[in-house]
Amino acid sequence: MPNRHILIIDDEEDIREVAQASLELVAGWKITTARSGSEGLEKAVSEKPEAILLDLMMPDMDGMMTIGKLRNLPATQHIPVIFMTAKVQASDRQRLTKAGAMAVIAKPFDPLQLHHQVSDALGWSRESSGI
Amino acid sequence: MSPLESKKPADQETLTVASPQDPSEHGRELSLAAFTKQLWQRFQGAMLERVSVLEGAVTDLLENALSQDLRLRAEGEAHKLAGSLGVYGYPLGTDWAREIEHLLEGNAALLPAQVRRLAELVASLRPHLEQPAVENRSQCVEPTKCLLMISDDVELVRRVAIDAPARALHVQHTTFIGLEKSLDTLPAIILMDVTASTKPVDALATVAARWPEVPLVILALHDSLANRVEVKQWGNQAFLQKPASPSHILDVAAKTLQTAGSQNAKILVVDDDPLILAALEVLLASQGFKVVTHADPLTFWQALEETGPDLLILDIDMPGLSGMELCHAVRNDPRWSALPILFLTAHTDPQTVDELFAVRADDYVPKPFTGPELLIRIRNRLERVRLQRSLIETDALTGVATRTKSEEVLTRLLRLADRHHQPVSLALLDVDNLKLINNREGHAIGDSVLRTLGQILRHSFRGDDVVARWSGEEFVAVMYGMTRSDGVQRLASILATFQQKKFSSKDGTAFGSTFSAGVAEYPADGPTLKGLYEAADGALRQAKMAGSNRVLPAGGDGNRPSVANHVDVVLVDDDEALTTLLVHALTIRGYTTHCLRDGPAAVEALCGREPCLHAKVILLDVSLPGLDGFGVLRQLANDQVLRQTKVIVLTARSLEKEVLKTLELGAFDHIAKPFSMPVLMQLVRRAIEV
């Protein structure tokens, strides 16, 4: 079974840590984190994760800008992106999906369920989500 | 949504081993929980900093000195709190922060009630976050609700099922109604795909009959009007057009679910501790419940009758009268014997619990309570009551209350009206020619007419109003705080809605239906429920005699000659299409009418020393053949007709000059074309009543 590798891009330290801990501890995935859109872009190119969890509201380069750049880079354009946001309304969802997001996960998430939400969104079977 | 809502029962978890050092699922949860706790210790300070920003903003706001900068910053901090508190086991904190964010959005000035609410929420945050987080998640996890999908589109069902947990829903699926026997829970909402159905209306009827109280989302292929009209008669539902994305379907389902159901339930909380009352008020109001708090057990009965709650929360230890005694008394009053009662108690020893159930409490929540647990228990209780009501007390065909149930509530309403000197109006409705419809089209179609009227009535009356099916084709609607003429207006607009509904007859053609109604006011028209009913019945009979399809007030002069020279409203307008509409709208409100087509005719009929036509109100068009509206108005003023008659001028444009001129000439009011019929009807009513 391949070890899943996810990149988390979020400017809030605590959210990064809890998401990382959740996916590492509960699902056993490999996690890389980035604290800004630009750092996220670099890491997406250098580490080639299987999927990216992207915060919507970030200073400087927000989630929408980041996904735009990810979609334009040949090295990253195939990597599925899942948005994390505390504001999820129907119109937002539509806007985010249009921008190329695979799914939107509502914040706050349940640390015990996060890996299920990610697996379901990416079409990974739940059984194979461990090591 | 709380982060905990999406958690599934443990048996659905299919976790695999995460790491060799920590082989059990339980172990992993524990280590994650420990980690989250550690993280909270590290970040609690930062979170409270964010709360300080909110507190600062509220302080400024209360002094009317909140700058746009600070408002923006506070909104941002609230957003961050909303996104993170739930992660640490403060789901309530997330809910509050989200509401705070919402209140601060934009730059419009806040209303006093919003300022109060904001201050309340912000003040609750810090103490909440200084308390330990919700430890045992499984106890406070809100169970996901069942979305029943009736569809043969297996792929769509699969995709909706994937996204459903994020909205606290889980999907049950069946291809045909009747095959869903294995449902392990009552559906909270039903999604019905009628795209492949040859008889969508029949299928919908079956679903509506089987789950009358469950909100329905209908998924259909075309957006043809006929389709939508047929579908709409099933009332409280959303309509979706295929193709629809799973997330759109779920958004609509979640929204429909939220607006339906127990969200409007009224809860009475009795506790002598003002802090508990305040906390509960914030908590319950944030979930959309209507909350009434009451601190004095000695005046409890009055509060109970005034509130008419759907659920009662009692404290066990109160000075004067204990919660147990209150509960016992409530249970022994037949009017309240079915009211759900929940106790808050610091004692959970077996003896106390025994005593609680001996006085027939429904449930208890140990103090100190956690918000989520209390909410689950409240929702469970309300859900159960709703189910019971739907089985016992509502009329199976129409979904409105039965006569027995409503008589009990009505007696209470009348007593309440006495105490508060409020009017109450009772309307008695009778479907016109129902026997004829039954004979011609069969009882199934007749039933569908009744069911449709039941649904319209259910959705037209809310809160303190009561709607019941009294017998066969007769409905009663009781409106608290409404005068007779308010009631007539309300019923007339319901009649207009009902007239729009189309039913398909045996031969495939569409036909419409109407009702007649009489409205009586308490206590003027009858000092008792029986007297009131008789007065309304008298007015109903007058309405039938006057040709049906109208609403009449009680106490009117029933034997008005049909070719009298006194009418309520004279229309002076050459536009036949418009006058037809107007006559219709006026007639169903019980007014008598007469039409005149041009200026000279109007002057001849209405002016002169002894006019041959007297009206209470004249609706006068400005542009008329022969002599224009101003000319007619001038003549009416000259002949002193305006002393007894109010003139409402219909202008083509809302030109200031025209308006001033009409008012100078003595018109009562004016309205510009095209106008809204209800607005004009309000004007007419005011003109007649002044």
Smallest CA–CA distance from A24 into chain B, residue: B18
CA of B218 to nearest chain A CA: how many angstroms apart?
18
pLDDT band at B401 (very low <50, low <70, confident <90, very high): confident
Would you say residue B672 has pLDDT above 50?
yes
Whole-complex ipTM: 0.71
* Residue among A54, A102, A113, A119 with most chain B CBs within 10 A, to mutate: A113
pLDDT band at A35 (very low <50, low <70, confident <90, very high): very high
- Digit-coded pLDDT (tens) for A104-122: 888 888 887 888 888 888 8
For helices A13-21 and B25-62, the axis angle rounded to 10 degrees is 160
Residue B647: the pLDDT is 93
Residue B237: the pLDDT is 66
Closest CA to B81 of B115, B113, B116, B43: B43
- Digit-coded pLDDT (tens) for B95-116: 888 889 888 987 888 887 788 8
Identity of the residue in B43, B163, B166 whose CB atom sits nearest the CB atom of A14 = B43
Q: Which residues in chain A have their CB less than 8 angstroms from residue B3's CB?
A: 108-110, 113
- Digit-coded pLDDT (tens) for B209-225: 677 667 788 887 765 44
Smallest CA–CA distance from B253 into chain A, residue: A90
Residue B513: the pLDDT is 93
* Displacement of CA B519 from its chain's centroid (Å): 22
Q: Between chains, do B85 and A108 touch, taking CB under 8 Å as contact?
A: yes
Query: Considering chain B, what percentage of its residues have pLDDT values greater than 90?
Result: 14
Would you say residue A94 has pLDDT above 90?
no
Pick left, alpha or beta for residue A68 (phi over 0 → left; psi -120 to 50 → alpha; otherwise beta): alpha
Q: Between chains, do B18 and A18 touch, taking CB under 8 Å as contact?
A: no
CA of B2 to nearest chain A CA: how many angstroms apart?
7
Residue B514: the pLDDT is 94
* Residue among A18, A94, A102, A104 with most chain B CBs within 10 A, to mutate: A18
Identity of the residue in B3, B15, B28 whose CB atom sits nearest the CB atom of A109 = B3
Average pLDDT along chain B: 79
Residue B623: the pLDDT is 87
pLDDT band at B311 (very low <50, low <70, confident <90, very high): very high
DSSP code per residue over B615-631: EEEEEEESS-SSS-HHH
Main-chain phi, psi angles of B293, to 5 degrees: -105, 150
- Pick from A46-50, B18-22, B261-265, B637-641: least confident: B18-22
**Cα separation, A116 vs B623, whole angstroms:** 70
Q: Between chains, do B82 and A108 touch, taking CB under 8 Å as contact?
A: yes
Residue B91: the pLDDT is 79
**Cα separation, B665 vs A32, whole angstroms:** 81
User: B425 with B487: CB under 8 angstroms?
Assistant: yes
Q: Which residues in chain B have their CB less than 8 angstroms from residue A126's CB?
A: 14
- Digit-coded pLDDT (tens) for B329-361: 887 776 676 788 999 887 777 777 778 877 878
- Contacts (Cβ under 8 Å, ≥6 apart) of B37: B88, B133
- Our CA angle for B158, B162, B167, nearest 5°, is 130
DSSP B107: S
Smallest CA–CA distance from A21 into chain B, residue: B32
| Residue B205 vs residues B194, B256, B402: alpha-carbon distances, Å | 12, 19, 21
Residue B351: the pLDDT is 75
Is B457 strand, coil or helix? helix
Pick left, alpha or beta for residue A60 (phi over 0 → left; psi -120 to 50 → alpha; otherwise beta): left
* Residue among A89, A110, A120, A124 with most chain B CBs within 10 A, to mutate: A110
* Average of per-residue pLDDT across A10-36: 88
Label each residue of B512-578 as H, E or C: CCCEEEEEEEECCCCCCHHHHHHHHHHHHHHHHHCCCCCEEECCCCCCCCCCCCEEEEEEECCCHHH
The count of residues in chain B is: 690
Would you say residue A13 has pLDDT above 80?
yes
User: A110 with A21: CB under 8 angstroms?
Assistant: no
Residue B550: the pLDDT is 92
Identity of the residue in B15, B83, B163 whose CB atom sits nearest the CB atom of A15 = B83
* Displacement of CA B455 from its chain's centroid (Å): 13
pLDDT band at B314 (very low <50, low <70, confident <90, very high): very high
* Average of per-residue pLDDT across A49-67: 91
DSSP code per residue over A7-70: EEE-S-HHHHHHHHHIIIIII--EEEEESSHHHHHHHHHHH--SEEEEES--SSS-HHHHHHHH
Would you say residue B387 has pLDDT above 70?
no
CA of B252 to nearest chain A CA: how many angstroms apart?
9
Instruction: Record the tokens describing residue B290, joined without a space.
Output: 């209507």
Would you say residue B492 has pLDDT above 50?
yes
* Average of per-residue pLDDT across B646-652: 87
Identity of the residue in B32, B84, B137 whose CB atom sits nearest the CB atom of A108 = B84
Identity of the residue in B46, B82, B162 whose CB atom sits nearest the CB atom of A120 = B162
Q: Which residue has the higher pLDDT, A62 or B5?
A: A62
Q: Which residues in chain A have their CB less than 8 angstroms from residue B36's CB?
A: 18, 21, 111
* Residue among B5, B15, B99 with most chain A CBs within 10 A, to mutate: B15
Would you say residue B459 has pLDDT above 80?
no
Residue B136: the pLDDT is 41
Would you say residue B399 has pLDDT above 80?
no
Burial of residue B171 (number of CB atoms within 10 Å: 0-12, 13-18, 19+): buried
Q: Between chains, do B32 and A86 touch, taking CB under 8 Å as contact?
A: no
For helices B246-259 and A90-98, the axis angle rounded to 10 degrees is 170
Burial of residue B574 (number of CB atoms within 10 Å: 0-12, 13-18, 19+): middle
- Digit-coded pLDDT (tens) for B567-603: 899 999 988 888 888 888 898 888 888 899 899 989 9
- Digit-coded pLDDT (tens) for B149-164: 888 888 888 888 877 8
- Relative to beta strand B424-431, strand B515-522 is antiparallel
Main-chain phi, psi angles of A17, to 5 degrees: -70, -40
Instruction: Record the tokens describing residue B300, joined without a space.
Output: 């409890």
Would you say residue B414 has pLDDT above 90?
no
Identity of the residue in B7, B31, B101 whose CB atom sits nearest the CB atom of A110 = B7
- Digit-coded pLDDT (tens) for B25-73: 555 555 667 777 777 888 888 889 999 999 999 999 988 889 999 999 9
Smallest CA–CA distance from B86 into chain A, residue: A108
Q: Which residues in chain B have their CB less than 8 angstroms from residue A14's CB?
A: 39, 42-43, 46, 84, 87
- Contacts (Cβ under 8 Å, ≥6 apart) of B598: B572, B574, B624, B625, B626, B627
The residues on B that touch A, with CB distances below 8 Å, are: 1, 3-4, 6-8, 14-19, 22, 28-29, 31-32, 35-36, 39, 42-43, 46, 79-80, 82-88, 91, 94, 98, 101, 137, 162-163, 165-166, 245, 247-248, 251
Q: Which residues in chain A have their CB less than 8 angstroms from residue B162's CB?
A: 120-121
Instruction: Record the tokens describing residue B276, joined without a space.
Output: 């508990």
pLDDT band at A127 (very low <50, low <70, confident <90, very high): very low
* Average of per-residue pLDDT across B178-198: 71
- Sheet with B566-572: list strands edge to edge: B593-596, B566-572, B614-621, B646-651, B669-672
User: A130 with B17: CB under 8 angstroms?
Assistant: yes
Q: Which residues in chain B have their CB less than 8 angstroms from residue A117's CB?
A: 6, 165-166
Q: Which residue has the tokens 């409105």?
A: B400
